[in-house]
Amino acid sequence: MSSAYQLKPWTQVVTPHSDILSGNLDNATYAASLSLVVRQDPNCPPVYRNARDFFNATYLTTALKKLLTDVLKSLRGDAGDRVLQLRTPFGGGKTHSLISLYHITKNRSDLQSITQLDELPNPGDVRVAHFIGFEAGAIKGIEIDDSPPIFTPWGYLAWQLGGHQAYSLLATEDQQKVAPGNEVWRKILGDTPNLILIDELLVFVESAMAVQVGDSNFGRQVLIFIQKLTEIVRELPKTVLVYSLQASVAESFGNEGLLSALDKLVSRIDAKKEPVSGDEVMQVIQRRLFSNIGDTAIIQEVARQQAELFRRLRESYADTNREKQEIQQQADLLADRILVSYPFHPDLIDLMYYRWGTLPSYQRTRGALQFLAAATYALWEAKDNSWLITPGSIPFDNDIVKNAFFSQVGARDAYSSVLISDLTGRKAKVKTVDNRIAADAPALSHLKVGTRLSSAILMYSFGTRGGDKGVLEQEITSACLAPGLDRTTITAALSDLREELLHLHYVGQRYRFETKANLNKLIADEEGKVSSDEVLQKIQEELNKTLPNIRGKVVWPKDAAAIPDKVKQFSIVYLEPSWADKSKDLVLVDALNWLENRGNDKREFKNALAFVVPNKAQMDKAREGARTALAISELIEKKNKKKGSSEELEELNELTSKAKDATSEIVAAVRRLYEYILLPLPDTSGEKPVRLESVDLQSQLNTSQNLQERVLDALKNYVFETTTASKLVSLSGLENPDKEYIAGEELVSYFFRFPTLPKMLGVEGIKKSILKAIEQGLIGYVPSMTISGEIPVVDNSNLISFEKVIPADELDLAGYLLSPSLVNKLRTVKSPEIVETIIKDAEEDNTVKLIYGSGDSGSTTKRRVAEEKQTVEYKSDASSIERTVLLDIVNGKKPARYYKLTSSTDKAKIFQLFEVLQALSDKAEGMTITIEVQAHTQDSFDLNWIRNAIEEPLDEMDIRASTRLE
């Protein structure tokens, strides 16, 4: 089968009957009337009035064919049922069956060469009489040309069977409205073939009950007549009586007793027939509405492909092989049913026949013909390009279709506003869904997915099947399947419809339209009460759930000052919602400004930040979801305070379901909230020191639910946990002969200050690299060192770590990293003497500790450890000074080049001490001072004073210091 056939729409395959093509869709066209046919009334459509046209447009169902066969055989004198009851709902084929019997017996000669009739028995000439309850009046009777009025069913039947002669036999009984005796009817009927057709008898009996006849009433006399007639017909070999009864109490105008009485009156003799049943109604509709059904090969291909769409859809719900086998069987059955329902989808016929069939206003076959004829005409005129006419194809914006619809389901006044609001109006809510889907998937725009689903749901909203109102998602999906329209799209569209439409209800997993507005309007009103700040707070709460409770993140800083500086930790800055409204150019300018400055100060740690920028569309979705979630939460709280009626409990359940949907919407929007990252990198063009590199974040959506992890994953080629030992040494500059040492803290700060260096997540990774470099002998480490002249000195060379493993907790970044050459020098150079001065005021408990070292920093003389040298000590109770001098100096064998002083004093003499130190400074070529001050007060040190008077002056003089306040 070629693709041309595969895609051929039904409008290019079938040919509707002329009445549809001409737009002749009057109800009378499909409301058959036996009386009009008998009278050959020109107002009767030719398709009913003309016997040949009638059978050309009639599909002989199995039941109808058997009915015709049985009646014709009995008229021929064969054995069989002679009293037949047609009992089906309104529109179920009763009148059509009576007309079939009338034409096949009255006009057999006009029906030659109609294949489906050729094999039926032919009893020859048959006298045919009919009585229709709606046509006759219980008081005035029936007017006959050139004859006085006839008042009773027996009078009218006799007149049709034998004219004036037959009527005269029971004229008195007719005028007095008394049931005639059996013998009279035996004379009238005789041995010739007679067919008596009675339709809507119950209606006439109901009216006749009101007419008094002696001690009885007219209705009672009619019942007696029918009883007698059935007994007589049973006796006669060539007479058949076929009559109809309503199928239910509702259809019998509520007269259950009369219906039961009439049923029991004749049930001993009659055989009950149902002219149309099961899938045969599809072929009845097919034959009546279309003069040519088209190429069978095309129809078979459409059936196959539609069944395949169904199979793939249902298998997406299946879990086991057994379920898949059952689905395949269902798909095969669907293909078979499409062959007999084409161009209609079987689900469309089913919902009308079974669901609408429970409605008192619906007339099954007749109603289906009337409605489907209107839909076929409207879609034909619109050149519909679908494979099949499905429940979703019904064009409710067409007035003819809409009127036919309400004629069958009722509730015109109640549901007109529903259609205007949600489906057909100029501002109908469904158009929002149509446009949204068309924007996301332009290839589906012609399907109008929202309208398609809504139309189908409206069709399913009337009547019930199995007592359940509405339609399940699987049912609606199966009924609306089309090429390119899959389960995912339909599910998403249904979700959108639940949020947009005002009269669509979703209860117990079933969709249905109701005249009462759903909760969407109530929610919309409540949303208007939610403030913007509340919305942003809700979004931030959801955002924080996606971020771990660790360092390294800054969420929604209000300005650059809110982003910390000088923190040895790589920080990710999640910019707040207003950034989503900025252009990309403005985002770059503002982010670069935040990188360079921290309020009024210059930012130092510029290599420790990344800015994550929000997406406008997702921010809008998050706002919408948050506002809805907050509104629903408020409504749920109000509902919980009330005593719940069943209706309120249903609404509460629906609100709870909507709350979950709203929360899911926020979560989904927050997950996609941030679009890209701005990362500071060196500007290789030379225009500026730093540029901001854009790094895509959307491609990381599937890597983790944790937003921080996704950001770090996106930055894995830019930001590192650690670096190699060799690279660290290279970045430290210790490979340069001119640089032999660097403070650990200084090297660490480089990684966070300068964008030219690798970006590190934190200090721990750098420490690991330092430890590795020490172990490998690439650098050395000493916890403290005196910087004096060109060659630093250490108190104890044993404290130098080199080519050894040291524990991580012993690596103090306040210490120094050494080049291998400096390690060798320090291990061979004698440490200088250190002079410590401790000034202590025991009474005030104030201590000032001063450590001074002075000497010839340029000396290269190698010295042994001090303890190996002989010294001379000077002590005296009369002096506050304790002196120790090398013996070689005392003996004049070597010059005194190093001086160490330890002293203690109270705060009153501190300035005199500094005068002495100044004198020493003037004399020494180099001097190192370490001061430790311990001070206390009975009151409290003012924090601002400490900062302004002590710490800031030291900072301005670039003097290293550490403080502790307790």
Domain region containing 668: 527-715
- Do the beta carbons of residue 83 and residue 269 sit within 8 Å? yes
Tell me: pLDDT of 382 over 70.
yes
SS (H, E, C) 893-936: CCCCCCEEECCCCCHHHHHHHHHHHHHHHHHCCCEEEEEEEECC
Burial class (CB in 10 A: 0-12, 13-18, 19+), 590: middle
- Residue 62 or 233, more confident: 233
Q: What is the pLDDT of residue 848?
A: 37
Residue 586: count other Cβ atoms within 10 Å of its Cβ: 11
Q: What is the pLDDT of residue 851?
A: 37
Residue type, 652: L
pLDDT digits (tens, 9 = 90+) for 676-689: 999 999 987 777 88
Quote the tokens at residue 291: 């003069």
Give the Cα separation of 69 and 275 in Å (integer).
Answer: 13
Q: What is the pLDDT of residue 273?
A: 61
Phi first, then psi, for residue 772 (nearest 5°) are -65, -40
456 and 358, same structural domain?
A: yes
pLDDT band, very low/low/confident/very high, at 877 (cuts 50, 70, 90): low
- Do the beta carbons of residue 841 and residue 847 sit within 8 Å? yes
DSSP category for residue 86: E
Give the Cα separation of 245 and 263 in Å (integer).
Answer: 8
588 and 512, same structural domain?
A: no
264: in domain:
yes
815: in domain:
no
Q: Decide: helix, strand or coil at residue 11.
A: helix
966: in domain:
no
Identify the domain boundary among 277, 309, 334.
277
- Residue 871 or 869, more confident: 871
Residue 861: count other Cβ atoms within 10 Å of its Cβ: 9
Q: 281: Cβ–Cβ under 8 A, 6 or more apart, which residues?
A: 61, 349, 353, 364, 365, 368
Give the Cα separation of 737 and 726 in Å (integer).
Answer: 16
Q: In sequence order, what E strands does 163-227 have?
A: 194-199, 212-213, 216-217
Give the Cα separation of 496 and 482 in Å (integer).
Answer: 19
384: in domain:
yes
- Do the beta carbons of residue 659 and residue 629 sit within 8 Å? yes
- Residue 948 or 444, more confident: 444
Identify the domain boundary among 517, 552, 580.
517
We report the CATH number of the domain holding residue 80 as 3.40.50.300
Among the listed residues 317, 311, 662, the one whose alpha carbon sits nearest the alpha carbon of residue 473: 317
Evaluate the omega torsion of the peptide bond into residue 343 and state whether it is cis, within 30 degrees of 0. yes
- Residue 319 or 763, more confident: 763
165: in domain:
yes
pLDDT digits (tens, 9 = 90+) for 247-274: 443 444 445 566 666 666 555 455 656 5
Among the listed residues 456, 487, 498, the one whose alpha carbon sits nearest the alpha carbon of residue 317: 487
Give the Cα separation of 544 and 526 in Å (integer).
Answer: 26
pLDDT digits (tens, 9 = 90+) for 215-247: 899 999 999 999 899 999 989 999 999 988 754
Of these ranges, 107-121, 311-325, 610-624, the one predicted with the greatest mean pLDDT is: 610-624
Give the Cα separation of 220 and 138 in Å (integer).
Answer: 12
Quote the tokens at residue 345: 């989808």
Identify the domain boundary among 715, 749, 776.
715
Give the Cα separation of 462 and 204 in Å (integer).
Answer: 31
Give the Cα separation of 494 and 501 in Å (integer).
Answer: 10
Give the Cα separation of 152 and 163 in Å (integer).
Answer: 15
- Residue 958 or 348, more confident: 348
Distance, first Cα to last Cα, the chain: 92
613: in domain:
yes
534 and 629, same structural domain?
A: yes
- Residue 613 or 34, more confident: 613
The DSSP annotation for 262-322 comes to HHHHHTTT-EEE-SS-TTHHHHHHHHHHEEE---HHHHHHHHHHHHHHHHHHHHTT--SHH
532 and 513, same structural domain?
A: no
Give the Cα separation of 834 and 170 in Å (integer).
Answer: 151
Give the Cα separation of 673 and 436 in Å (integer).
Answer: 20
Tell me: pLDDT of 450 over 70.
yes
Give the Cα separation of 514 and 503 in Å (integer).
Answer: 6
Q: What is the pLDDT of residue 954?
A: 76
Q: Tokens 């109490």 identify what position?
A: 249
In total, how many domains does the chain have?
A: 4
439: in domain:
yes
379 and 297, same structural domain?
A: yes
538 and 506, same structural domain?
A: no
506 and 434, same structural domain?
A: yes
Residues 503-515 have a mean pLDDT of 89
Tell me: pLDDT of 566 over 50.
yes
Provide the pairing of β-strand 271-273 with 83-87.
parallel
Q: What is the pLDDT of residue 35?
A: 85
Q: What is the pLDDT of residue 51?
A: 92
Residues 438-452 have a mean pLDDT of 92
Residues 108-113 have a mean pLDDT of 89
pLDDT digits (tens, 9 = 90+) for 887-924: 777 777 788 888 888 887 777 777 777 777 877 887 78
Provide the pairing of β-strand 127-132 with 194-199.
parallel
Taking only Cα atoms into account, the Rg of the chain, rounded to an integer number of angstroms, comes to 51
Tell me: pLDDT of 55 over 50.
yes
Phi first, then psi, for residue 684 (nearest 5°) are -70, -15
508 and 547, same structural domain?
A: no
- What is the pLDDT of the chain when averaged over all its residues? 84
Provide the pairing of β-strand 780-782 with 741-743.
unpaired
Residues 156-172 have a mean pLDDT of 93
207: in domain:
yes
Task: Identify how many contiguous H helices and E strands the chain contains and give both numbers.
Answer: 39, 32
Q: What is the pLDDT of residue 253?
A: 44
Supply the pTM of this predicted model.
Answer: 0.55
The DSSP annotation for 856-886 comes to -TT-------GGGS-EEEE--TT-S--EEEE
Tell me: pLDDT of 28 over 80.
no
pLDDT band, very low/low/confident/very high, at 842 (cuts 50, 70, 90): very low
117 and 182, same structural domain?
A: yes
401 and 351, same structural domain?
A: yes
Tell me: pLDDT of 856 over 80.
no
Residue 335: HSE in the Cβ half-sphere, 13 Å Cα cutoff: 21
Give the Cα separation of 309 and 353 in Å (integer).
Answer: 24
Q: 365: Cβ–Cβ under 8 A, 6 or more apart, which residues?
A: 91, 92, 93, 96, 276, 281, 284, 285
The percent of the chain in helix, strand and coil, each rounded to the nearest 5, is 50, 15, 35
Tell me: pLDDT of 715 over 60.
yes
303 and 163, same structural domain?
A: no
Tell me: pLDDT of 5 over 50.
no
423 and 467, same structural domain?
A: yes
- Do the beta carbons of residue 226 and residue 279 sit within 8 Å? no
Among the listed residues 157, 174, 161, 195, the one whose alpha carbon sits nearest the alpha carbon of residue 74: 195
Buried b (16+ CB within 10 A) or exposed e, 537-547: ebbbebbbebb
The DSSP annotation for 400-425 comes to HHHHHHHHHH--HHHHHHHIIIIIIS
- Do the beta carbons of residue 635 and residue 526 sit within 8 Å? yes
pLDDT digits (tens, 9 = 90+) for 806-815: 999 999 999 9
Q: What is the pLDDT of residue 257?
A: 61
Residues 640-664 have a mean pLDDT of 79
Residues 577-600 have a mean pLDDT of 94
* Displacement of CA 667 from its chain's centroid (Å): 12
Residue 884: count other Cβ atoms within 10 Å of its Cβ: 12
N residues, the chain: 966
